[in-house]
Amino acid sequence: MSDPFVVVGADAAGLSAASKFRREAPDREVVVFEKGRWISYAYCGMPYFIAGYVDRMSDLLSLSPDEVDERGIDLRRGHEVVAVDPDAKRVTVETAAGDRFERAYGDLLVATGAHATTGPFDVRGLDGAFTLHDMDAAAAIDAYVAEPDAYDPDRADVSAVDRDRVERNAAMPAPETAAVVGGGYVGVEVAEALSERGLDVHVFHRSGHLLSPFGEAVGNRVEEALEAEGVSVHTDAPVEALVGDDRIEAIEADGDRVPVDMAVVGVGIRPNTDLLDGTGFDRGPGDAIRVDDHGRTSLSDVYAAGDCATARHAVTGAPDWTPLGLTANRAGRAIGATVAGDPTPVGDIAGTAAVKAFDTEAARVGILDPDAAEAAGFDPVRETVTAGSRSGYYPGAAETDVTLVADRDTGRLLGGSVVGTDRAAIRIDTLATAIEADMTAPEVERLDLAYAPPFSPVWDPILVAAKVLNGKLDG
Amino acid sequence: MSDPFVVVGADAAGLSAASKFRREAPDREVVVFEKGRWISYAYCGMPYFIAGYVDRMSDLLSLSPDEVDERGIDLRRGHEVVAVDPDAKRVTVETAAGDRFERAYGDLLVATGAHATTGPFDVRGLDGAFTLHDMDAAAAIDAYVAEPDAYDPDRADVSAVDRDRVERNAAMPAPETAAVVGGGYVGVEVAEALSERGLDVHVFHRSGHLLSPFGEAVGNRVEEALEAEGVSVHTDAPVEALVGDDRIEAIEADGDRVPVDMAVVGVGIRPNTDLLDGTGFDRGPGDAIRVDDHGRTSLSDVYAAGDCATARHAVTGAPDWTPLGLTANRAGRAIGATVAGDPTPVGDIAGTAAVKAFDTEAARVGILDPDAAEAAGFDPVRETVTAGSRSGYYPGAAETDVTLVADRDTGRLLGGSVVGTDRAAIRIDTLATAIEADMTAPEVERLDLAYAPPFSPVWDPILVAAKVLNGKLDG
């Protein structure tokens, strides 16, 4: 075991693994190769930086390179792993300076993340058009949105930032109208962010409701929330073209042309797996690297975690690809322990996700879509209720919509969503726990949830939803 | 089955049972005897009425007598059931008008609730001294607190209110200083309420921390929250006497004398079980009526539910007495279904409770006290962590203290508490669900809880607590 634990990628999964391994196996070597300059940044925080809720880009970094160093981790930024030889147990590394070398590994963790796709739209070379999938893009967007004479360069206060790009964008005239292409959760967050910065914002979404994986009940409420704040929501409106020569001028969608002087395209992400090309590794959903319950790939001594890897879904038991921050952190940490000699399962995912649109909070878990439930072998029954978040007489009680899906035969809870303005999103954790415990809807109805007038009515909205769903299951 | 379903008590449990029974068995008779004039009032809302958060007493009623009537329920107010003959299946009823009669029942539900105890202190005949356990007391307190010329009699806008008592209290000089005797959750809520009404408030509590069943971590934070708003908290300060001739003048506690011109005594409650005296019924903890998992007492065809009855504890599997609103509603509803011919378990309780003190929210579930855990046969390991409620960079992140207790041998989660200012209390529902699902602390650590910067950090405070506790379990 003299060869090191080699980790590819220095974000949530990679650094969680390296840190845990370092603590558990202090005498063994761990090397982290990161192709870029950024490490350990909070991808999920970028919209809030753009919104101006966060003052400094450095606030979004959970670990500095120095802190990683202090942990005894050999971090090599500007080092891209371009190939893996699983038989020889060696990786090939290319440095930003143009060098190329091989490095042997005892165990290897692929934590390469994912990259934003832009669909048919090429935003490169078109001023004012962006994709949001890294900190350089966030810094550029933030600079572009600002009035040239009002931009505070200290906002992008990290040495890794692409300063030329920031300065170029800061110098451009500030936009007044923006298009967000894609109404997934990042799209919704960016729409809020740009609206908070004073822009007239249009969101274009291909299908009938924003936040498709959250279901129609959430989509409806979030659309209302955005529109109440002046955001124009275009659903069933696939974008056909970004129009402009040097700078974005308009969006063509669904036969209409909407003039804009900014566009943020976020139509999807794809796992980064090129380094494993030619190894014959097994792929799973979303073309992600398929792993088992300990994060092991089909290649011997090669693990994968984070946005490039699958995880087992708590409802179906099958591999799933739902790239999210906790999954990455948790799997990295578990793999660090496993490689250090303490076999630790990475844990199932339940597809738990939360998002806000101004004061409206929404969250989802499990399988909400009836077609997906049927495809997984269930006979789904779905019900949405609207119930108060607090006792009716208590000030601040707000309408909360809860959707539950259960299997008709077994009553098993398959999925759920919550949307509202008062402590709505955090309520999803109750459903996530129930789903991971394989609870039935009747068991959920009998849960002893907290009742206190300022926080919940006697019958919490989740209990009301379970009660109504059970009535339907009995029928 | 020609004899009716007789329900004793027209509050949460009784009216839930009668309503469910009426829907499920529309052809059978249901009679509800209520000794007083009030029905279906929200006991838990009274402190918020006193605080002035709720404008009208009628807002606290969930059902009016007319609405009960419209449901086809034969409601008899001013009818006290004074005896039960379980062999003859008859109850003896005394009316407020002095009549006495017997009534046969097919099934009987005892939903008589509980009454406030005042310990050694007799508040009767002492102006300015109150116990808070019914709406008449709430109305009287509200009137006493008001300046005589500023009192709005429309606040007590329910015909059932004891108007003489209200007018007498409204006419008295308004108090400036109040003592709350007993620092349980009602005591904390009343302290906040009286402070919001401008009084200088002292809370006296017998033991070392307020909210004893919530554990020390919660007690500490709630004491800080009260004191930050000017409430004086006296712990380890058993009250020895209420001093005064006609009107309260001072509190003697722990050797000190604190002058006050108001006192609210809330040192405990006791189940109302007199009507079953002589029947030989089984009692459980707290001298409450012991029931099985369908709410059946030891007497044939006699059920009990609500604050007068036990419920099975999800952790110990043993009968427990934790009178709370959801337990009453849920048990009543289940018994209504059972009596109508659809046997329905009343559900376990997990001892879930929540309370607020100004902006601080606290909640508890399961077994927190190590001695209680040992008495139930466990080897408890307890850990308290302080973690952020949101991503550190997101505005509004607040320190949240989570306490978890697990059994050393099995890892099973036994109890927990959460306290903080940002969506803290509602997080207890996640722990309640985990406890009712018999989850272990390692399973809790692997839960896929929602991560979104405005609502939760990557590692939710609950996950952080589970992680730290598991480290201790491994050690």
Kindly state whether A356 is in contact with chain B, defined as any CB-CB distance less than 8 angstroms.
Answer: yes
Q: Is the CB of A361 less than 8 angstroms away from the CB of B425?
A: no
Asked if B44 is an active-site residue, the reply is yes
Domain at A413, CATH number? 3.30.390.30
Same domain, B29 and B98: yes
Kindly state whether A23 is in contact with chain B, defined as any CB-CB distance less than 8 angstroms.
Answer: no
pLDDT for the residue numbered B307: 96
**Shortest CB distance from B48 goes to which of A453, A455, A462?**
A453
**Shortest CB distance from B452 goes to which of A348, A355, A443?**
A355
DSSP string of A419-444, one letter each residue: EESSS-GGGHHHHHHHHHTT-BHHHH
pLDDT for the residue numbered B118: 78
Cβ neighbours of A363 in B, within 8 Å: 450, 452
Q: Is the CB of A349 less than 8 angstroms away from the CB of B448?
A: yes
Lowest mean pLDDT among A113-127, A230-244, B172-186: A113-127
CB B391 within 8 A of CB B429: no
**Cα(B343)–Cα(B335) distance, rounded to whole angstroms?**
8
pLDDT for the residue numbered B27: 94
Q: Is the CB of B330 less than 8 angstroms away from the CB of A446?
A: yes
**All residues at 6 or more sequence positions from A353 whose CB lies less than 8 Å from its CB, including other chains:** A185, A213, A214, A322, A324, A363, A364, A365, B450, B452
**Helix locations, B301-404, DSSP H:** 325-339, 370-375
pLDDT 10s digits, A73-96: 999 999 999 999 999 999 999 999
Helices A325-339 + A12-24 axis angle, to 10: 30
CB A334 within 8 A of CB A346: yes
**Shortest CB distance from A454 goes to which of B345, B356, B449?**
B356
Cβ neighbours of B354 in A, within 8 Å: 450-452, 455-456
How far away is chain A from the Cα of B241, in angstroms, using its nearest Cα?
Answer: 31
pLDDT for the residue numbered A41: 84
Total domains in chain B come to: 3
In this structure, chain A runs to a length of: 475
Same domain, B281 and B185: no
Kindly state whether A432 is in contact with chain B, defined as any CB-CB distance less than 8 angstroms.
Answer: yes
pLDDT 10s digits, B121-144: 878 889 999 998 889 999 999 999
Which candidate, A128, A153, A151, A150, places its Cα nearest to that of A141? A128
Cβ neighbours of A315 in B, within 8 Å: none
pLDDT band with cut points at 50, 70 and 90 for residue B82: very high
Same domain, B231 and B277: no
How many Cβ atoms from other residues are within 10 Å of residue B442's Cβ? 19
CB proximity under 8 Å: B 395-424 to A = 395, 423
Which candidate, A447, A444, A445, A456, places its Cα nearest to that of A398? A456
**All residues at 6 or more sequence positions from A210 whose CB lies less than 8 Å from its CB, including other chains:** A183, A184, A187, A188, A203, A219, A222, A223, A226, A233, A235
pLDDT band with cut points at 50, 70 and 90 for residue B70: very high
**Cα(B352)–Cα(B367) distance, rounded to whole angstroms?**
10
The pLDDT of residue B67 is above 80: yes
Q: Cα dist. B285→B10, B133, B137, B271, B282 in Å?
A: 24, 21, 28, 10, 10
Residue A227 is assigned to a structural domain of this protein: yes
Residue B217 is assigned to a structural domain of this protein: yes
Mutate to test the interface with A, among B49, B429, B430, B445 (most CBs of A within 10 A): B429
Kindly state whether B329 is in contact with chain A, defined as any CB-CB distance less than 8 angstroms.
Answer: yes
What average pLDDT does this structure show over B204-230? 97
Same domain, B205 and B326: no
Residue B235 is assigned to a structural domain of this protein: yes
The pLDDT of residue A475 is above 80: no
pLDDT band with cut points at 50, 70 and 90 for residue A40: confident
The pLDDT of residue B405 is above 80: yes
Same domain, B26 and B165: no
Residue A70 is assigned to a structural domain of this protein: no
Beta strand pairing call for A107-110 and A302-304: parallel
Same domain, B190 and B279: no
pLDDT for the residue numbered B133: 82
pLDDT for the residue numbered B42: 84
Residue B403 structural domain: 360-474
Same domain, A278 and A249: no
pLDDT 10s digits, B17-32: 999 999 999 999 999 9
Residue B448 is assigned to a structural domain of this protein: yes
**Cα(B441)–Cα(B415) distance, rounded to whole angstroms?**
10
Search chain A and give the residue with CA nearest B430.
A430
The pLDDT of residue A1 is above 60: no
Q: Of the candidates B339, B370, B387, which is a domain's last residue?
A: B339
Element (H, E) at B75: strand B74-77
Search chain A and give the residue with CA nearest B363.
A450
Same domain, B140 and B234: yes
pLDDT for the residue numbered A324: 92
**Shortest CB distance from B53 goes to which of A394, A426, A443?**
A394
Q: Of the candidates B227, B249, B268, which is a domain's last residue?
A: B268
Query: Which percentage of chain B shows pLDDT scores above 90?
Result: 94
Residue B177 is assigned to a structural domain of this protein: yes
Domain at B224, CATH number? 3.50.50.60
Lowest mean pLDDT among A366-375, B109-118, B274-283, B439-448: B109-118
pLDDT for the residue numbered B437: 97
**All residues at 6 or more sequence positions from A102 whose CB lies less than 8 Å from its CB, including other chains:** A90, A91, A92, A93
CB proximity under 8 Å: A 451-470 to B = 451-456, 458-460, 462-463
**DSSP single-letter state for residue B178:** E
Search chain A and give the residue with CA nearest B56.
A393
Mutate to test the interface with A, among B155, B391, B426, B474 (most CBs of A within 10 A): B426
Residue A56 is assigned to a structural domain of this protein: no
Which candidate, A17, A42, A48, places its Cα nearest to that of A32? A17
Mutate to test the interface with B, among A307, A390, A404, A429 (most CBs of B within 10 A): A429
Element (H, E) at A339: helix A325-339
Same domain, A283 and A258: no
Q: Is the CB of A430 less than 8 angstroms away from the CB of B430?
A: yes
**All residues at 6 or more sequence positions from A424 whose CB lies less than 8 Å from its CB, including other chains:** A360, A361, A362, A363, A389, A398, A400, A418
Same domain, B300 and B222: no
pLDDT for the residue numbered A163: 95
pLDDT band with cut points at 50, 70 and 90 for residue B379: very high
The pLDDT of residue B215 is above 60: yes
Q: Is the CB of B437 less than 8 angstroms away from the CB of A432?
A: no
**Shortest CB distance from A42 goes to which of B326, B391, B439?**
B391
Kindly state whether B40 is in contact with chain A, defined as any CB-CB distance less than 8 angstroms.
Answer: no
- Of B44, B83, B447, B449, the active-site residue reads B44
What average pLDDT does this structure show over A145-155? 94
- The whole-chain average pLDDT of chain B stands at 95
Q: Is the CB of A391 less than 8 angstroms away from the CB of B460?
A: no
Kindly state whether A166 is in contact with chain B, defined as any CB-CB distance less than 8 angstroms.
Answer: no
CB proximity under 8 Å: B 171-200 to A = none
What average pLDDT does this structure show over B186-215? 97
**Shortest CB distance from A446 goes to which of B347, B365, B446?**
B347
Which candidate, A312, A338, A323, places its Cα nearest to that of A436? A312
Residue A347 is assigned to a structural domain of this protein: no
Residue A289 tokens read as 């690297």
Search chain B and give the residue with CA nearest A447.
B433
Nearest 5°: the CA angle B320, B463, A400 is: 75
**Cα(B268)–Cα(A46) distance, rounded to whole angstroms?**
51
CB proximity under 8 Å: B 300-319 to A = 314
Give residue for tokens 């329920």.
B73
**All residues at 6 or more sequence positions from A317 whose CB lies less than 8 Å from its CB, including other chains:** none
Across A295-347, where does the E strand assignment appear? 302-304, 311-312, 319-320
Q: Of the candidates A268, A298, A319, which is a domain's last residue?
A: A268
**Shortest CB distance from A451 goes to which of B324, B347, B391?**
B324
pLDDT 10s digits, B289-336: 999 999 999 999 999 999 999 999 999 999 999 999 999 999 999 999
Amino acid letter at A369?
A: D
Kindly state whether B475 is in contact with chain A, defined as any CB-CB distance less than 8 angstroms.
Answer: no
Query: Which percentage of chain B shows pLDDT scores above 70?
Result: 100
Same domain, A293 and A378: no
- The radius of gyration of chain B from alpha carbons, rounded to an integer in Å, stands at 23
Q: Is the CB of A452 less than 8 angstroms away from the CB of B425?
A: yes
Same domain, B412 and B373: yes
